[in-house]
Chain A
């Protein structure tokens, strides 16, 4: 059947018209037997441009349109809505990209014009065979899931819950709070980290809309936007939080001491423990990996002393299944593994610390109650060397990226050290000072001027222990000389890495990671919190190194994106999905294996498409040896015609 297609060629100012003779493209396409109307206009996406398309559709009784303009990523929705407003099916509107794929990459106007004609012509061939389709509607489970209970996860969960939606917050450790709860004071205002975070933690624990699952891990997520199913493993804590009175008796009798994760090994903890006094939920956890054993009971002392009988050795791992509409992923960060930083003696010398350990030393609730003391001999260090970019900005050996927060926290560390030890001396080795952010530059200047920090531009070549001192060899590239400092303590600003296990987790969820292992957002500028899987959003340092204000802002952004889904009565899915020709299908199942969205399955020895899961990527169609599966509106016949139009006459 012959169609009445309209072709609309956009100038995009001179973006297209500068390299492509747009009038010529419009004239040439008019010759096509299926083209009933064609014209050009300076900005098709402008309001008058859209009006022009709408009016032409009505005036010329068009049944399909091709807009030759920028990438469909940008204005496909605009023009499809425009087509719909003019009364034709929105899937009878296709974009011919003559900007990114033509005018922007060519200089020769004659050749670029020819190419633009071919691109537009091939799109006309496609639209001629387009079917009118209706979006697939899907219901929504109005419930959110937040994975990760650090500041980003807490903020996202609170925002979603305060908007009236139920939220499941899953945290793998026994308490929420993440790394922020370990910090002493925060730059640039120097307010106490615990003091500003604990109110939010309490709000989470008391919120009627938040279901908090700590000591739990998401094992599997199936389903699709609006209709996910999460399988969550809740590990046994062996302590009933409703009975536990936090009397501490169990801690006193427990014979096992292991390094305390909360203090990064600067102190010890028992096998039964509460991570920190303000932990949420406020309860003890029996760390089974370090307990002498429950099967059979090897020790049993904690149970013996527990008066409220809160300890229950028979607790079993639980699998909790939750139905979810949208998900925020806030799996956070870890510091670069000290195994990789042997050249700085980290892990070898007790007085070489990383930034988080130093935070604990500074913290009023830390192992030294806020006094800065050397872990080796508990003396006050008089000379402290801070080294920035440890593992960051080192593409050859370590991480190529900038960890972003280290300049600021090192300035803060050195400043706080000087506040604690006014007669001490702080040296900072740096490559550049990156202090972009509200009040950040002023903070660094204050550290330099008021607190007398010595900033040395250069790298450290070697660190070794000698006569109870830590000798640091480095270079001051501004003065052009070598430097040797006999320090009492060294603090390394180690690089931020995606949290351990995040890679494996991302693979399970089929989320792509960037080259450094951080979560890969759907668009670096315009979709910074979205993943490529719809309904799944990112918050915090899992996506890239960030400081607290940024993590909080992104968390609120991700929460609002998640709420957009939860607030819909129903969602619409593109109808450009795969379709099986049952008589050609032999049921080999190769399409099932290759489908990145798990939308295919075998039923009665034939492939079957779950249309809601299908994203129309066409991998199945490309894999099928029998051409038995194709994507609607981009079928092999259409592709064939498009190739013919592109390479042929």
Chain B
């Protein structure tokens, strides 16, 4: 069992010792169903910290901001950042380490096991509440959630309102950490790719229609990209916004920029954006599902990533972020890799 008091004790200790620059964790927010990411810099603030199934954000994204900030500073504080990670989040750290975006010394990983639970899916709860606003929530025995609204109090089994990814999760505890709380029990869901069943059963035409309909909704707000810990490029290849142009960028380099897709949210351009993004996440996506969570128009983005996760698992027996030393999927090959697609 993860004991919040122990976490706080450790947090206090490392802040007092000056071992970390600050700690990225979770705190209560104005929304009862959702924790807020919080940055704890002083030992006296540790009581803000919480740990429960409302802590669904992947905080790893903040490490990217930290790296950018540090790069701008003349004399940066090089102490590591303390960060709360769940099982899935820890694998994001591994991918960043694997891609040498951060170094192991940059982070002090505070690993938290989801154990047999997981995190909430807000959308599922809203459905259950039928429009009523939750005022207060409590967790009963880690089996049920008790939600109080103005009108009533209802008890829902956690299983019914957990995020899809938690139901399909195979490793609910961090695979890399400096300190760790909770159990290291491997889960073995019978169908880790169950969410794909329905969409895979569709014919090619039906799939096309499905995605046509879904992706035409996209308004290209890029929330999915902004929240993704793997989308750390200074400049996205599908959308040159000239962020990466620096003082020493030559006119020639500027002229060589290709506009692969138009900025306008047309359906064809949206396809371009989402498919390129999906391909760029193959073997890198760790299924934190943040992209789908933040999508304001409810595009089931996770299907794309999950499908690629399944394909890479089946073809190459590869799972992203298990080990920072493992070679990345697209830059490595084994003699026994399938090649029957070469004709």
Residues of A within 8 A of B (CB): 581, 583-584, 586-591, 593-594, 602, 605, 623, 625-627, 635-637, 640
The answer on a CB contact under 8 Å between A623 and B330 is yes
Most buried by B among A590, A591, A625, A635: A625
The answer on a CB contact under 8 Å between B258 and A587 is no
A175 to B233, CA, bound (A): 58
The answer on a CB contact under 8 Å between B328 and A583 is no
Q: Answer whether residue B99 sits at the interface, using C-beta atoms and an 8 A cutoff.
A: yes
Interface residue from B244, B245, B330 paired with A590 (Cβ < 8 Å): B330
Given contacts A590-B330, A635-B256, whether A602 and B100 have CB atoms under 8 Å apart is: yes
- For A622, the closest partner residue in chain B by CB is B330
Given contacts A589-B100, A590-B331, A623-B331, whether A583 and B237 have CB atoms under 8 Å apart is: no
The answer on a CB contact under 8 Å between A586 and B280 is no
The answer on a CB contact under 8 Å between A586 and B99 is yes
- For B236, the closest partner residue in chain A by CB is A626
Interface residue from A584, A590, A623 paired with B99 (Cβ < 8 Å): A590
Given contacts A583-B246, A583-B248, A593-B328, whether A588 and B101 have CB atoms under 8 Å apart is: yes
Residues of B within 8 A of A589 (CB): 99-100, 331
B residues 97-113 in Cβ contact with A at 8 Å: 99-101
Q: Answer whether residue B234 sits at the interface, using C-beta atoms and an 8 A cutoff.
A: yes
Q: A589-B99, A626-B237, A627-B258 are in contact. List 14 more A-B contacts (CB 8 A).
A: A581-B253, A583-B246, A584-B244, A586-B232, A586-B233, A588-B101, A588-B328, A590-B331, A593-B328, A594-B331, A623-B330, A626-B234, A637-B256, A637-B258
The list of the 8 closest CB pairs from A to B, nearest first, reads A588-B99, A590-B331, A593-B331, A594-B331, A627-B237, A626-B233, A637-B256, A583-B246
- For B96, the closest partner residue in chain A by CB is A588
- For A639, the closest partner residue in chain B by CB is B258
Q: Answer whether residue B235 sits at the interface, using C-beta atoms and an 8 A cutoff.
A: yes
The answer on a CB contact under 8 Å between B235 and A584 is yes
Q: Answer whether residue B18 sits at the interface, using C-beta atoms and an 8 A cutoff.
A: no
Ordered by A's residue number, 9 sampled pairs between the chains whose C-beta atoms are within 8 Å are A583-B245, A586-B99, A586-B234, A587-B100, A602-B100, A605-B100, A625-B280, A626-B233, A626-B234
Q: Answer whether residue B296 sits at the interface, using C-beta atoms and an 8 A cutoff.
A: no
Task: Tell me the smallest distance from the CB of A370 to a CB of chain B, in Å.
Answer: 47
Q: Answer whether residue B249 sits at the interface, using C-beta atoms and an 8 A cutoff.
A: yes
The answer on a CB contact under 8 Å between B258 and A584 is no
A626 to B232, CA, bound (A): 10
Most buried by A among B101, B249, B258: B258
Q: Answer whether residue B182 sits at the interface, using C-beta atoms and an 8 A cutoff.
A: no
Given contacts A588-B99, A625-B280, whether A583 and B327 have CB atoms under 8 Å apart is: no
Determine the main DSSP class of B at the interface with A: loop
Residues of A within 8 A of B237 (CB): 625-627
Residues of B within 8 A of A593 (CB): 327-328, 331-332
A605 to B67, CA, bound (A): 13
- For B260, the closest partner residue in chain A by CB is A640
A593 to B326, CA, bound (A): 12
B residues 258-275 in Cβ contact with A at 8 Å: 258
A138 to B331, CA, bound (A): 29
A415 to B87, CA, bound (A): 76
The answer on a CB contact under 8 Å between A583 and B249 is yes
Given contacts A583-B244, A583-B249, whether A626 and B331 have CB atoms under 8 Å apart is: no
Determine the main DSSP class of A at the interface with B: loop
Residues of A within 8 A of B332 (CB): 593-594
- For A635, the closest partner residue in chain B by CB is B256
Task: Tell me the smallest distance from the CB of A552 to a CB of chain B, in Å.
Answer: 34
Task: Tell me the smallest distance from the CB of B287 to a CB of chain A, in Å.
Answer: 19
- For A131, the closest partner residue in chain B by CB is B252
Residues of B within 8 A of A588 (CB): 99-101, 328
Residues of B within 8 A of A591 (CB): 331
- For A507, the closest partner residue in chain B by CB is B335
Given contacts A589-B99, A590-B331, A602-B100, whether A583 and B258 have CB atoms under 8 Å apart is: no
Residues of A within 8 A of B330 (CB): 590, 594, 623
A593 to B283, CA, bound (A): 15
A183 to B295, CA, bound (A): 77
Task: Tell me the smallest distance from the CB of B259 to a CB of chain A, in Å.
Answer: 9
Residues of A within 8 A of B99 (CB): 586, 588-590
Task: Tell me the smallest distance from the CB of A451 to a CB of chain B, in Å.
Answer: 49
A481 to B49, CA, bound (A): 92
Task: Tell me the smallest distance from the CB of A31 to a CB of chain B, in Å.
Answer: 25
The answer on a CB contact under 8 Å between B233 and A625 is yes
Task: Tell me the smallest distance from the CB of B308 to a CB of chain A, in Å.
Answer: 14
- For B245, the closest partner residue in chain A by CB is A583
Interface residue from B100, B234, B331 paired with A583 (Cβ < 8 Å): B234
Residues of B within 8 A of A583 (CB): 234, 244-246, 248-249
Task: Tell me the smallest distance from the CB of A579 to a CB of chain B, in Å.
Answer: 10
Given contacts A588-B100, A593-B328, whether A636 and B234 have CB atoms under 8 Å apart is: no
A625 to B236, CA, bound (A): 9
A640 to B234, CA, bound (A): 22
- For A587, the closest partner residue in chain B by CB is B100
A169 to B343, CA, bound (A): 42
A635 to B256, CA, bound (A): 9
Residues of B within 8 A of A590 (CB): 99, 328, 330-331
Residues of A within 8 A of B235 (CB): 584, 626
A625 to B280, CA, bound (A): 6
Interface residue from B101, B258, B328, B331 paired with A636 (Cβ < 8 Å): B258
Most buried by B among A587, A626, A636: A626
The answer on a CB contact under 8 Å between B331 and A584 is no
Task: Tell me the smallest distance from the CB of A594 to a CB of chain B, in Å.
Answer: 5
Task: Tell me the smallest distance from the CB of B100 to a CB of chain A, in Å.
Answer: 5
Residues of B within 8 A of A627 (CB): 237, 258
Contact with A along B95-139 (1 / 0, CB 8 A): 000011100000000000000000000000000000000000000
A627 to B244, CA, bound (A): 12
- For B231, the closest partner residue in chain A by CB is A625
A645 to B42, CA, bound (A): 61
Residues of B within 8 A of A584 (CB): 233-235, 244
- For B281, the closest partner residue in chain A by CB is A625
Residues of A within 8 A of B331 (CB): 589-591, 593-594, 623
Residues of A within 8 A of B258 (CB): 627, 636-637, 640
- For B103, the closest partner residue in chain A by CB is A605
A466 to B246, CA, bound (A): 87
Task: Tell me the smallest distance from the CB of B318 to a CB of chain A, in Å.
Answer: 14
A640 to B244, CA, bound (A): 21
Residues of A within 8 A of B280 (CB): 625
A588 to B99, CA, bound (A): 4
Residues of A within 8 A of B101 (CB): 586-588
B residues 294-343 in Cβ contact with A at 8 Å: 327-328, 330-332
Residues of A within 8 A of B248 (CB): 583
Task: Tell me the smallest distance from the CB of B194 to a CB of chain A, in Å.
Answer: 29
Residues of B within 8 A of A586 (CB): 99-101, 232-234
Task: Tell me the smallest distance from the CB of B118 to a CB of chain A, in Å.
Answer: 30
Contact with A along B211-236 (1 / 0, CB 8 A): 00000000000000000000011110
B residues 61-108 in Cβ contact with A at 8 Å: 99-101
- For B284, the closest partner residue in chain A by CB is A625
A627 to B234, CA, bound (A): 12
Task: Tell me the smallest distance from the CB of A166 to a CB of chain B, in Å.
Answer: 37
Residues of A within 8 A of B246 (CB): 583
Most buried by A among B99, B237, B331, B332: B331
A591 to B330, CA, bound (A): 10
A587 to B249, CA, bound (A): 18
A431 to B17, CA, bound (A): 84
Task: Tell me the smallest distance from the CB of A508 to a CB of chain B, in Å.
Answer: 14
Task: Tell me the smallest distance from the CB of B78 to a CB of chain A, in Å.
Answer: 15
Residues of A within 8 A of B249 (CB): 583
A590 to B282, CA, bound (A): 14
Task: Tell me the smallest distance from the CB of A80 to a CB of chain B, in Å.
Answer: 24
A581 to B234, CA, bound (A): 13
A602 to B103, CA, bound (A): 15
Task: Tell me the smallest distance from the CB of B323 to a CB of chain A, in Å.
Answer: 15
A588 to B98, CA, bound (A): 8
